[in-house]
A and B are shown apart, each in its own frame.
Chain A
Amino acid sequence: AQTVTQSQPEMSVQEAETVTLSCTYDTSENNYYLFWYKQPPSRQMILVIRQEAYKQQNATENRFSVNFQKAAKSFSLKISDSQLGDTAMYFCASLAPQGAQKLVFGQGTRLTINP
């Protein structure tokens, strides 16, 4: 079974600062994917970034990057030059492509960017 843990219920930073959200996971699969989803007040689930476990290089999408530590089963999200529009709930999730391909989500981190 897969589990995902986000230990930071809430975080708050000033606009333009860099913030890192933590996530740890547990899985018995060798092949899996990891994701960060953003859920703004509009409640839409928006994919921010994804990482394939077999890739050693950390994924990057513009101001968003991850620090994937496979041995430690850690998958943190770094947001650089944070913007007011980054204010949202952020969910870490894992997925094993074998079987049902269901996403397993963490409990989320509520991130507030202050002006």
Chain B
Amino acid sequence: DSGVTQTPKHLITATGQRVTLRCSPRSGDLSVYWYQQSLDQGLQFLIQYYNGEERAKGNILERFSAQQFPDLHSELNLSSLELGDSALYFCASSVAPPSGGLFGELFFGEGSRLTVL
């Protein structure tokens, strides 16, 4: 158990719909990362938050948005869903701030599998 909790584990929805994925980081971790893993592909970085602020963006579509709340949990919102959005969405957390050459190991949740029909 990594200590990172993601809900829901599975989600099936239709094209055009909107879903919200939730992530609770490990206790004490201030950084939250979101990654997308399409079928049999490597993980693609979407976005990172540190202590409530967006710090970096990767290949995140405009239809997707995220936020980190004061209690440090994070939500990834996916809207106007398309078939190609079907994927495994991972959240990871880390204790280290995203700068300064310090590194904190990333701990991954079990992922939320989204299926768009």
Asked if A pairs with B, the answer is yes
**B-contacting residues of A (Cβ < 8 Å)?**
4, 31, 33, 42-45, 47, 50, 89, 91, 95, 97-108, 110
**Chain A: CB-nearest residue to B101:** A97
Q: Tell which of A47, A91, A95 touches B42, judged by Cβ atoms closer than 8 Å.
A: A91
Q: Kindly specify which of B14-22, B65-73, B77-85, B104-112 makes contact with the partner chain.
A: B104-112
**A-contacting residues of B (Cβ < 8 Å)?**
2, 31, 33, 35, 40-45, 48, 55-56, 58, 88, 90, 92, 94, 96, 98-106, 108, 110-111, 113
Contact sample, A vs B, 28 pairs, CB 8 Å cutoff:
A33-B103, A43-B111, A43-B113, A44-B108, A44-B110, A44-B111, A45-B43, A45-B90, A45-B111, A91-B42, A99-B56, A99-B98, A99-B99, A100-B48, A100-B55, A100-B98, A101-B31, A101-B48, A101-B94, A101-B104, A102-B56, A103-B33, A103-B43, A103-B92, A103-B106, A108-B41, A108-B42, A110-B40
CA distance A104 to B33 in the complex (A): 12
Minimum Cβ distance to chain B for residue A44 (Å): 5
In the complex, the answer to whether A98 meets B101 with C-beta atoms within 8 Å is yes
**Residues on the B chain within 8 Å of A89, using CB:** 40
Minimum Cβ distance to chain B for residue A50 (Å): 8
**Residues on the B chain within 8 Å of A33, using CB:** 103
In the complex, the answer to whether A107 meets B41 with C-beta atoms within 8 Å is yes
When A31-B101, A91-B43, A108-B42 are in contact, do A100 and B56 touch as well, CB less than 8 Å?
yes
In the complex, the answer to whether A42 meets B110 with C-beta atoms within 8 Å is yes
CA distance A89 to B2 in the complex (A): 18
Q: Tell which of B88, B96, B111 touches A101, judged by Cβ atoms closer than 8 Å.
A: B96
